[in-house]
Structure formats: C-alpha cells, structure tokens
Structure 1
Amino acid sequence: MATAAQWLEGARPRTLPMALAPVIIGSAAAYGLGAFVPLNAVLAGVVSVLLQVGVNYANDYSDGIRGTDDARVGPLRLTGSGAAPPQPGKRAAFLCFGAAMLAGLVLVVLAGAWLRILVGPACVAAAWGYTGGRNPYGYRGLGDLFVFVFFGLVATLGTTFTQAGQLSGAAWIGAVSSGLIATALLMANNVRDIPTDREVGKRTLAVRLGDRPARLSYVLMLAVAILLPLLLTPTYPWILLVLLLVPLCVAPARLMLRGQQRQSLIPVLKQTGIIGLVFAVLFALGIALTTAN
C-alpha cells in the first residue's frame, strides 16, 4: 500500500500553482470592477485545487490500468508503479471531485449565480474524460484544448463572475493568458512523454505535432501569454509588471528547445507552474495598483 508521502507525490503538488493562478487573476479582475469578495475567492481556490488534485489522481488511475505509465519518465505514478492498487486511486479522485462540487455549490449559493451550478458537473466530466472512460479525449489530442478551456477560461471567468456578477476585458485577457500557460505546462509534460505515449497509442497533441513543433509551441504559448496583457496598458498602466516575468521564462524555454534527454525536461514542469503563479501575482498587482490610484 502506498505511503502518505507517495499519495502526496501522486497528487503532483507541482501542478497546484496552476490551479491557483486563474483564481488570483479572476479575483484581480473582480477587484478592478470594484467587486472583490474574499470568501468567494477562497472558495474558488478550494474548488480549483481540489479539481486539479482529482484530475491528477484520475489520470494516474486511468493511465495506470491501461498500461500507459508502465515505462513513464517523471514523477511517481501510484497505479502504474504498483505502489497502490487501482481502486484506491479512483476513490481518491472522486473524493476530490465530490469535495470540489460541494465547495462549488456553496460558492454558487453565496454568489447567487445559479446557472453556474452546471459548471461543476461539466468540470468533473471533463476531468474524468481526459484519460478515463472508453474513449478518453486526452488520447486523441484534445487534452490541450480542454485544459485551455477549463483551467483557463472557465476557472478565471467563473472566479470573476461569482464575485462581480459580470466580466471585463481584463478578465478575458487574463483567462486566455492563464489558459495558455496551463496548456504550455501540459505540452511540456507531453513532449517529455512522446516516445512512451506513441508506443501505447496515446495521440496527444505533442505526438501529433511531432517533437520539434511541440517544443516550439511551448515557447510560443508562453510568449503570447505574457504579451497579451499589454493590450490592457491604456486602462491598467501597471499591467506592464508582467514583463518582469520574461527572465523567468528563459531557462524553461531553453530546456524545451535544447534538452535532448527526456528526463532533462522534468524541471520544466515545476518552472512552468512557478511562471503561472508569478504571472498571476504580477497581473493582479498591475490591476490593483492602477485601481488603487
């Protein structure tokens, strides 16, 4: 049976900054609209983190029972490594999904945004369907699109709406940037796994694009994510703070373009997660400093 430390590693804590980033951005956009609600922001963060952990456990379970993780390079896989039998991993995933939906329900009640109640089941279905079920969309190269939509657009815009009851240009631009960075993280993970994914028939977008184009797409996504907020400069001059992130992107971009050994790409996951979190903080500061003045 897996130890507590192995369960923690199986939750893939390095991906959790990407779960908090859209909440920070969405809350900043709400603040820019004069409607920041701390309790709603905290609940949105709880929902996002629980969904991310649930996704991680669900992927561990689904890939493990399919044999996709048998020769995986990277962090511990509970099911694939044999550290834990499949069913506890599946139960852990749905426990996280259930807790996320409960927190989401409380958020919907507090916000009075009853139409948002449908978002919870959609998020869980998307999380499970990535590698689970009979025809997982992650095996057909659609995982990147769903990550962009749910961990970028839905998470960010949902956070803003449950506080402000409306959306803004800052919310939309922040959502797109957040989604691009989250997708870049997934791309880095999938580039690392191209050889093993190809062998087991997992046709991720990285596999479909090929090694070099997939690596270039990572750099392009980071570049667009950082430059896009500059469109907000006339309204939020302090948004230029996001440019401070550029030096932080150099190391992972170089690794993605030059790293030949698959194991050398592992640090890119942590670095991209940090980039996502720092971007969110700088974006939020840009909006807050402008609004405060």
Structure 2
Amino acid sequence: MNTLPLSSPTPLQIWWMAIRPKTLVAGLVPVLLGHALAERDGYHAPGAFLVALGWTLLIQIACNLNNDYCDFKRGADTAERLGPVRVTQSGLLSQEAVLAATVFFFALAVLVGLQLVHMIGPPALVLVAVSVLAAFAYTGGPYPLGYNGLGDVAVFIFFGLVPVALTYYVEAGHFSSLVWMSALVPGALGIAILTVNNLRDVKTDRVVGKRTLVVLLGVGFGRFQYAAVLGITVLTPVAMWAMGLVGPTILLPLLSLPLALSPLRRVLTQSGASLNEALGETARFELAFGLLMGAGLWMSTAS
C-alpha cells in the first residue's frame, strides 16, 4: 500500500506532490537535447527555447494531474496501490480540485501553444491540438491510450520525437537528421520509466482491466522491454559517432552507464513496491545521460 511521505503536508507540498516533479525529467531532457542541437548548428534563440520548454512542462503537468484524476475515477488507483501517493486517491485533494487544476494547466499550455503558433505558423496549431488531445486521452476519454496497450507508443512520440523536433524547429526553422536520432534517447528512456510503473502495478492493473503491454504480454516481456530500451539509449550516441554524423564528444553520456546498473538489476529480479526505487533511479539515469548527451552534441562536429 502507498503511504504518505509527510505526516501533515502543507497545501503547497500537496500540490507539489500532485504535479509529480520527479517525472518532469522526461519532459526536460528532450527539450534540452533539441536546444543543444540547435546551438551546435549555430542557432541561438533562448526565447524560443524557453517557450518550447514551458509548453512541454505545462502539458506534462496537465497530463499528470489528469492521470491522477482519471485513474482514481476508473478505479486504477486504490488503497492497494504500490506506487507513490496519488493525491486524489489518498484524499489529500478533492476530485473537484484536481479536475480544476487539470483544466487550469491545460489552459496555460494552450496559451503557450498559441505563442508557438505565432512563432512557427499554422502547423503548430495542429501540434498543439494533437498534443492536448493525447495528454487528455492517455487516461481520459472513451478509449484511454494507457488502458489499451498504447501508452508506450504515446510516450515515445510525445516524450521523444515531438519535443526534440519542436525545440529544434522553433529555434532553427527546419529539421535535421540528427533530430530524429537524438529523439530516440528520451523516447526510449520515457518507455523505460513507464515500463517500471507497469511492472510494479501489473497485478492491480490486471484487476481493473488496465491493459498495459505488461498485462497483455507478461512480466517477462516487460523486463525484456526495459533492457531493450536501455540498449537503444546506449547504442544511439555510439551509432551517431560511428556513422560520422558527430565527433567523439557524443560518447560523453556513456559516462553515466553505472547509474543504469542498479535499476536494471532491480527490474530483472524484483517486483511490486521494491520497483519504486528503480523508478527514481531510471529518472536519474535519464537526467544524467540527457545532460551529458546534450553537452556532447553542443561540443561536437561532424567527423
């Protein structure tokens, strides 16, 4: 069962808990990679970078709050939940308060999204609309993606391809082949974080009919998937260097590999609540790998 990390949290601490700050690494890293690529290619646009970062983090916070509300309404979050505290299920915040906050952050995200439209034109309007719809539909609506085996695809697209490409485009005004290769890293690591969640919650998800890939294909598949996406993460900068696309500084993120060993061991050998440690460790690995890869891209040149 989940337990409160604080005996009597203040309202500010409760709302901080609600937005799930540790998960925001998944939104921060792809934006930093897109920015590093733009800087590498000679495009210095800090204002555009901040708009892209604000958009990405706001839509992620709105998604987190919506998940908290919808998972409780659908019965996926109960007192038997093994993961970190959810504010709706635990009664720290009312359903109405969480729903109102969800709407508020979606509205803020749309306002920033309109700035993207102003900066890069009508195609951004489609991106904003699709992103808002996907964030809501992850756990909301008549066919929630996360309940129907599509959560991994959504994470790869909206925590990998979209934010890296958007950040680069809003600064440079075009795309680059390196954008798509670089996006493999946050996309893969986003799936890694989701896989840990799904492995931890497989029993309760199965009971409530939440059909994640781990529920559909089994724990063995989930463990293989976690190892596979870590492999994709590590091999991506190696491939970029081997193909002559960038210089050897792209190998800097390999220095963070020791941080991946503990969560990998936990995922392969443990289950249930013990995987909460692997969740935090995977997020730390993503942050370290992403920062080092961003630095490596920024300093690199074609071989």
**By the TM > 0.5 criterion, same fold?**
yes
Amino acid at match of 1:266: N
Q: Which moved more, 1:236-245 or 1:17-26?
A: 236-245
- Does the 8 Å contact 1:236/1:286 carry over to 2? no
Whether contact under 8 Å (1:129, 1:137) holds in the other structure is yes
Is 1:263 aligned with 2:263?
no
- Pairs within 5 Å for 1:66-215: 66-70=74-78, 71-109=80-118, 111-215=119-223
Residue by residue over 1:233-259, the C-alpha shift from the partner in whole angstroms, topping out at 9 and shown as x without a partner, is: 123221011211211110110111111
Structure 2 counterpart SS, 1:155: helix
How far apart, CA to CA, are the structure 2 residues paired with 1:205 and 1:214? Answer: 7
Per-residue CA shift, 1:193-238, capped at 9, x if unaligned? 0000000010011211211220221121011112112222123221
Which of 25, 28, 43 is the matching residue for 2:36? 28
Provide closer, same or farther for how the CA distance between residues 292 and 172 of structure 1 changes in structure 2, counting only shifts above 3 A. Answer: closer
In 2, the alpha carbon distance for the partners of 1:22 and 1:129 equals 22
- State whether structure 2 residue 235 is matched by structure 1 residue 227: yes
Counterpart amino acid of 1:140? N
Unpaired stretches in structure 1, ≥5 consecutive residues: none
The structure with the greater share of residues assigned to helix is 1
Deviation sequence 1:44-82 (CA, Å, 0-9, x none):
111111111111110000011111101211111112222
User: Is the Cα–Cα contact under 8 Å of residues 68 and 200 in structure 1 kept in the other structure?
Assistant: yes
Preserved contact between residue 40 and residue 162 of structure 1 (Cα < 8 Å): yes
Note if 1:50 corresponds to 2:58: yes
Q: Which runs of 4+ in 1 moved over 6 A?
A: none
In structure 2, C-alpha distance between the alignment counterparts of 1:116 and 1:33, rounded to whole Å: 22
Kindly provide the CA deviation profile for residues 9-31 of structure 1, in whole angstroms up to 9, marking residues without a partner as x. Answer: 12111101111001001111212
TM-score, normalised on structure 1? Answer: 0.94
TM (norm. structure 2) is 0.91
Residue 73 of structure 2 aligns with an amino acid whose one-letter code is I
2:295 matches 1:274: no
1:236: which partner in 2? 246
**Any stretches of 5+ residues in structure 2 without a counterpart?**
1-8
Amino acid at match of 1:276: E
Distance 1:196 1:231 in 2: 39
Amino acid at match of 2:270: G
Aligned mates of 2:211, 2:245 — CA distance in 1: 42
Instruction: Indicate the SS of the match to 1:79.
Output: coil
